[in-house]
Amino acid sequence: MAPIRLRHPKGVTTLQVDLDAFTVLDLQQEIFAVTEIPPSQQELKAGYPPHALTLIPELPLESLGLKAGEQLMVTQMRGATRPPPAANAVSDVAPAAPMTGLTRAQATGPSTPAPAPSAPASGPDYVPTEGGYLVHRIVPDDNSCLFNAIALVFEQDMSKAQQVRKIVAEEIKKDMDTWNEAILGRPREEYITTISKPNTWGGAIELAVLAKHYNTEIASVDVETGRIDKFSPPAESDSGNRCVLVYSGIHYDAATIAPILDAPDDFHQTVVPREGEDADSDPILAAAKKLADKLRAKRAYTNTATFDLRCQICQKGLKGEKEAREHAQQTGHVEFGEY
By annotation, the residues acting in catalysis are 142, 145, 251, 333
Q: Give the whole-angstrom CA distance, residue 98 versus residue 76.
A: 20
Q: List phi, psi (to 5°) of 133.
A: -140, 135
Give SS3 for 234.
Answer: coil
Region of residue 36 (left: phi > 0; alpha: psi -120 to 50; beta: else): left
Q: What is the C-alpha to C-alpha distance for residues 49 and 104, in angstroms, rounded to an integer? A: 8
Q: How far is CA 292 from CA 153, 168, 300, 310, in A?
A: 18, 27, 9, 27
CB 154 within 8 A of CB 196: no
- Beta carbons of 59 and 66 less than 8 angstroms apart: no
Residues paired with residue 247 on neighbouring β-strands, in sequence order: 222, 252
C-alpha 245, offset from chain centre:
9
Q: What is the DSSP letter of 277?
A: S
Which residues contact residue 158 at a Cβ distance below 8 angstroms, ignoring those fewer than 6 apart?
139, 140, 148, 151, 152
